[in-house]
Amino acid sequence: MEQLDDQGGIDALIACAGGLGAGTALETTDDAWAAALRANLDTAFVGARACLPGLIKRNGSIVCVGSISSLAAASAMCGYTTAKHALLGLVKSLARDYGPSGVRVNAVCPGWVRTPMADEEMQPLMQCYGCSLDDAYQRVCADVPLRRAASAEEIASVCAFLASPAAAIITGAVLVADGGSSIVDVPTLVFDRL
Q: Which of the residues 80, 98, 129, 137 is marked catalytic?
A: 80
Distance of alpha carbon 111 from alpha carbon 88, whole angstroms? 15
E strand or H helix at 156: helix 152-163
Query: CA 24: distance to chain centroid?
Result: 20
Give the closest residue to 107 by CA, choosing from 155, 149, 146.
155
Residues 80 and 74: beta-carbon distance below 8 Å: yes
Beta pairing partners, 15: 64
Cα→Cα distances 36→78, 82, 92, 164, 177, Å: 9, 9, 20, 30, 22
**Burial per residue of 30-67, b for 16 or more beta-carbon CB atoms within 10 angstroms, e otherwise:** eebbebbbebbbbbbbebbeebbebbeeeebbbbbbbb
Whether 98 is catalytic is no
Catalytic residue annotation:
80
